[in-house]
Structure 1
Amino acid sequence: MINIIREAAFGSINSVYSIAIIIIPIMIALQILKDFKVLDKITQPFNFLAKIFKTSNESVLPLLVGLIFGLSYGAGVIIQTAKEGNLTKRDLTLITVFLVACHAVFEDTLIFVAVGANGFILLGTRIIAAFILTYVLSKRIPMGDLSELNQVDSN
């Protein structure tokens, strides 16, 4: 029993460490890029997503990070952006819905291509499903008023 507890504890610590050595440098790099306004230039071409889903432009960065790096690593950016008060609960809900359907597009696609799947069909289906699902939901969730902008609880 002690061996199981010890292995579980060390396994958990190892997992947290593995995620931390990736997330911490990403968060530092993103903060530096944000301070020098580079992120604005990177995310600007994707602001059409915010218009389509009727979310704030601040929702584009966490969406892109989750799309590219996946949910585990994207969660750090999503949480940080929410704590900064830049996202409404509606924004967070729509980001989450999109990323549930379509995240880590490079990694997942390459893994499935390696075992014989058609990458174009897989990637296309995931992106189309994510767009449709998020778009339909964006029409069903009320926009709310602008006073909700900073409604996300930072605790």
Structure 2
Amino acid sequence: MNFIIDFFNLGIIGSAKSIWSIAIIVIPLMVFMEIAKDIKLLDFISKLFKPITKLLSAEENAAFPLAVGIIFGISYGAGVLIKTSEDGNIDHRSLMIISVFLAACHAIVEDTLLFVAIGAKGLIIVFTRVFVAFIATIIISRFIKNNSQNLGE
């Protein structure tokens, strides 16, 4: 009987520690994201991502959704990407290229910190995800038709 009680105590305490570790990372990131939006830091960051969009053969307008997706995650990145495409500010090819890249490499900061919290090597995770994302995107981009029509039109 003591085994069962010890098992549940260990499970509850272990789970609580894991939840606490995740909360310590996620809550400050959420606060930072809101502040970054308010002070237009994301606009500055997206300018830094323009060379990446060129490397991926995407439009410069794709830099902002790419930056948001890489930093804050696929849901925020997809939301910005959808809004950008609805506004007609990005062509179909760039939309597909950025979507492929973000599928492999999104929330790079948050995900990496979460894995580091449970003992993973952060640099290995970052470099592997970025490398796989670039290779997959470059290969797939060769098969995506180049059309000049925007999706919002």
> Structure 1-normalised TM-score?
0.68
Say which one has the larger Rg. Answer: 2
Letter in 2 for 1:99: L
- Structure 2 counterpart of 1:57: 60
How far apart are the structure 2 equivalents of 1:113 and 1:140?
Answer: 36
Alpha-carbon distance, 1:66 to partner: 0.4
1:89 aligns with 2:92: yes
What 5-or-longer segments of structure 2 have no aligned partner?
1-29
- Structure 1 counterpart of 2:121: 118
What are the equivalent positions in structure 2 for 1:58-73 lying under 5 Å apart?
58-73=61-76
Quote the RMSD (CA, aligned, Å).
Answer: 2.4
Alpha-carbon distance, 1:50 to partner: 2.0
How far apart are the structure 2 equivalents of 1:153 and 1:58?
Answer: 14
- Structure 2 counterpart of 1:142: 145
- Structure 1 counterpart of 2:27: none
Alignment counterpart, residue 48 of structure 2, candidates 41, 45, 48: 45
Aligned 8 A contact 2:65 2:81 in 1:
yes
What 5-or-longer segments of structure 1 have no aligned partner?
1-21
The share of aligned pairs that are identical, in percent, is 43
- Structure 2 counterpart of 1:99: 102
Pair 1:51–1:62, CA change in 2 (3 A): same
How far apart are the structure 2 equivalents of 1:116 and 1:141?
Answer: 39
What are the equivalent positions in structure 2 for 1:24-43 lying under 5 Å apart?
29=37, 33=40, 39=43, 41-43=44-46
How far apart are the structure 1 equivalents of 2:126 and 2:45?
Answer: 22
- SS of 2:142 mapped into structure 1: helix
Alpha-carbon distance, 1:143 to partner: 1.6
Count of residue pairs brought into register by the alignment: 120
Alpha-carbon distance, 1:96 to partner: 0.9
**Structure 1 segments (4+ residues) deviating >2 Å:** 41-46
